[in-house]
Amino acid sequence: MEKRESLAIKMNPYSIMFGKEPIRNIRREKQLRQVTDDYTAPEPMIQVYMITGVRGSGKTVFLSDATAFFKRQEDWIVVSISSDGDILDKIISALAAEKTLARVFQNASINLSFFGVGLEVSGAPKISNPEIALKKMLESLKRQNKRVLIAIDEIIKSKEMVTFASAFQLYIRDDLPVYLLMTGLSENIEELQNVKNLTFLYRAPKLVMEPLQIQQIQCDYKETLGIDSGAALEMARETKGYPYAFQLIGYFTWKNQCQYTEAVRKDWKARLYDYVYDIIWERLSQKDRFVAYGIAKAQNHRTAEAREILGLSKDEFNPYRKRLIKKGLVKGDSWGIVSFTLPYFDEFVRRTYEEEHY
């Protein structure tokens, strides 16, 4: 009893807020090492990574882990920005706001007064083109043996994003020390890749936020919540490795004096449906929803059964199955088997589709 009371008075180590890094976080060490090793190599061959996965799969947390690593490196400058607004201007402002960097730009006679950052250099012409201004800034930083990491969370295709990506492509071509980490839903990344003249994005590697290992989740629950291995394993299996479910179950169990009950299950599922699944569902096409419903109704997870329920041929069914796999909602690693990657998503799909159509 004393253990339960001592746990209860501490801060909840799990978070149900998107974009906020929780106290308890299962780090993706292998993928993080892949990025850091590639970017810190003496002669880097990769300067862009795209991080993708479904909503709640840990993209933002991974981005936070990566930027935290580079902030600790002496010769790295990290610029974290949102994808809205004028991206080039944001980067220029962020770099110019650092006093030590501002002196570097002034010594290089880079007059940035046009951008309202207070860096006017007497006798040097004003630079009004942000693409040129940032290029000169990067050139001056290269002479100082500095590298710049630009981190952008949840990208979408926009005029400003296309302008930035076009400029970034030229910076890479000119061998400037600039690196990019972008997170985004698969469809948003694909839409940006399809822009003419941004072919370099097709060659950029993607890091897909795959499910966490059940054993890792089990160990975390056992250690953090003070529960036995069997109970921790049961809870871990319910998450299906989905990071947001890992946080939700931990959060509500902690609130319930570290007891996992049916009431806790009801609470975290309701939160999952309202804050994640409803949004995912809204973004699916009518045909995507129809095919998802067939998958949800297939009791033995057989592709043939799902097609039979829907009355679709292979040629009619497979394109939508592939779309759902690309979105990260359906597993695509077993021949003849089709099932969802997210916990209780089949239950959600059946209920929601039938409410809409029956």
Greatest C-alpha distance within the chain: 76
DSSP states of 16-78 as a string?
A: -STT---SS----HHHHHHHHHHHTSSS-S--EEEEE-STTSSHHHHHHHHHHHHHTSTTEEE
How far is residue 74 from each of residues 34, 40, 141, 249, 287, measured CA to CA in Å?
20, 12, 13, 38, 51
pLDDT at 120: 60
Helix (H, G, I), strand (E, B) or coil at 17: coil
The predicted pLDDT at position 122 comes to 58
Domain ranges of the chain: 2-19+212-280, 29-208, 284-357
Q: How far apart are CA 51 and CA 144, in angstroms?
A: 29
**Please, are residues 54 and 342 in contact by the beta-carbon 8 Å criterion?**
yes
pLDDT by residue for the chain (358 residues), tens only, comes to: 344 444 445 789 999 998 777 888 999 999 999 999 999 999 999 999 999 999 999 999 999 999 999 999 999 999 999 998 899 999 999 999 888 998 999 888 888 877 776 666 655 777 889 999 999 999 999 999 999 999 999 999 999 999 999 999 999 999 999 999 999 999 999 999 999 888 888 889 999 999 999 999 999 999 999 999 999 999 999 999 999 999 999 999 999 999 999 999 999 999 999 999 999 999 999 999 999 999 999 988 999 999 999 999 999 999 999 999 999 999 977 888 999 999 999 999 999 999 999 8
CATH class of the domain comprising 284-357: mainly alpha
Establish whether domains 29-208 and 284-357 are of one fold. Answer: no
Residues 272 and 266: their CA atoms lie apart, in Å, by 10
Question: Are 271 and 279 contacting, i.e. CB atoms less than 8 angstroms apart?
Answer: no
CB 164 within 8 A of CB 89: no
Q: Three-state DSSP class for 116?
A: coil
Contact assessment for residue 138 and residue 171, using Cβ atoms and an 8 Å cutoff = yes
SS3 185: coil
Q: Write down how long the chain is.
A: 358
User: How far apart are the C-alpha atoms of 78 and 24, rounded to whole Å?
Assistant: 24
- CATH code matching the domain that covers 29-208, chosen among 3.40.50.300, 3.30.420.40, 3.40.720.10, 3.40.50.720: 3.40.50.300
Buried b (16+ CB within 10 A) or exposed e, 345-357: bbebbeebbeeee
CA distances from 348 to 294, 296, 297 (A): 13, 9, 11
Reduced to 3 states, what is the DSSP secondary structure of residue 247? helix
pTM above 0.75, yes or no: yes
> What ranges in 73-199 are assigned the alpha helix state H?
87-96, 99-107, 130-143, 159-173, 186-193
**Adjacent-strand bridge partners of 151:** 80, 181
Query: What whole-number distance in Å separates Cα of residue 152 and Cα of residue 131?
Result: 18
Tokens of 42: 């003496």
- Amino acid making up residue 74: E
* pLDDT tens, position by position, 24-38: 899 999 999 999 999
Q: What is the pLDDT of residues 89-133, one digit of tens each?
A: 999 999 998 889 989 998 888 888 777 766 666 557 778 899 999
